[in-house]
Amino acid sequence: MFFSPRRLLMGAATLALLATSAQAFDTRARAAFVVDYTTGTVLLAKNADQSLPPASMSKLMTLYIAFEAIRDGRLSLDEKLPVSSHAMSYGGSTMFLDTTDRVKVSDLLRGVIVLSGNDACAVLAEALSPDGTEKGFARFMTQRAQQLGMTGSTFKNASGWPAQGHVMSMRDLSLLAMRIIEDFPEHYAMFSERRFEFDGRAPGNVRNRNPLLALDIGADGLKTGHTQEAGYGLVGSAQNGDRRVIFAITGLGSERARAEESEAIVNWAFRQFAERTIVTQDKAVAEADIWMGSQEKVGLVSEKDISLLLPTLSANSLDAEVVYTGPIQAPVEAGQKLAELIIRPEGLPETRVPLVAETSVAAGGFLDRMMMVSKVLLKRLQDGPPTDPQEAS
């Protein structure tokens, strides 16, 4: 990658990189958040921090807490849990559980993921609740979500059943999806299962509602949601080669609109963006001025290759800036952090990369220091007296 630095005040330099602006996706969703999991690049954010009714998409939080309990040994996949009258009372999408049942945790997890069972959520909630109730579990869900950085989420139940104040943001849902994929890869395969038949009880409710799973576009999760208030939504993820895209959308008007919008988002994210190496490790991208050193400049390098997700249809303009406070007093050690490279792709978040000294620069000897002082004095004489009244004061 070729860099052409132009020196600015206080040791800043602008650089030219190869890229162009991102073409925003015009989504029909009321709120949406799309992120490239591999690079962490946010590709789309529309009302992403607005707390909205999440419907069954909030079941992902119940699943996360259940996965944590399994990991910590507080719950096991083969363990059988009782069904309370409260859990049995749920309507909507269910596993048709009753109080005579004792259900394996592995079946309950699939009942939540594939069948979107409200009753299955309540069974897990009561088993893991600090006080044995679903309300107590909901309070714990909210607390745990805050600890995970999900600041726009408040839970009133374990399933997303309509309740005043039960809300999540699309950014929070995407963050939760990323945490599930990253923290519990051993359980993630369940999200791509298309069918689950539990005891032959609900022949009309055996299919996963995620419309992307059957499209052969790399989709492997995670959860749909629908209520009258929330509309139709989906937390989705798809993988293509080394890249994974995660998104959350809500507020669509129909199942068909949800399916079409989800597929369009996945295709847009994979086709319109590609990962590119912008900075190569140990290759100088600029130079910093040195004061009173054995040499006047030192190269600035990154300690690792830097790759960014950029639009595939690239032009030749992307502003970047190397910023440091200088000149830098010698001595300087190789690898010492001296500057920061700020890359600003239009339409995408900026990226900041630490830059370090390429080589060591010793403090200058007497002759080096005298030469430096002489050059500064000579330049001031050549520039003449200041003309700005403020500079003369």
Would you please indicate which residues are annotated as catalytic (active-site) residues? 56, 59, 116
CA atoms of 150 and 147, how far apart (whole Å): 7
* CA neighbor of 308 nearest in space, from 279, 275, 340: 275
What per-residue string of b and e applies to 252-265 under the rule 16 or more CB within 10 Å gives b? beeeebbbebbbeb
Phi, psi of 327 (to 5 degrees): -65, 155
What per-residue string of b and e applies to 30-48 under the rule 16 or more CB within 10 Å gives b? bbbbbbbbebebbbbbbbb
Q: H or E segment at 342?
A: strand 337-344
- Residue 327: Cβ-neighbour burial (10 angstroms; 0-12, 13-18, 19+): middle
- Residue 53: Cβ-neighbour burial (10 angstroms; 0-12, 13-18, 19+): buried
Q: Kindly list the distances between the CA atom of residue 8 and the CA atoms of 16, 243, 289, 324, 368, in Å, as whole numbers in the listed order.
A: 15, 37, 12, 10, 25
CA atoms of 21 and 3, how far apart (whole Å): 19
Q: In this structure, which amino acid lies at residue 314?
A: S
What per-residue string of b and e applies to 97-108 under the rule 16 or more CB within 10 Å gives b? beeebebebebb
Angle at 301 between CA 299 and CA 304, to 5 degrees: 165
DSSP string, 250-265: EEESSHHHHHHHHHHH
Both tokens of residue 295? 């040499």
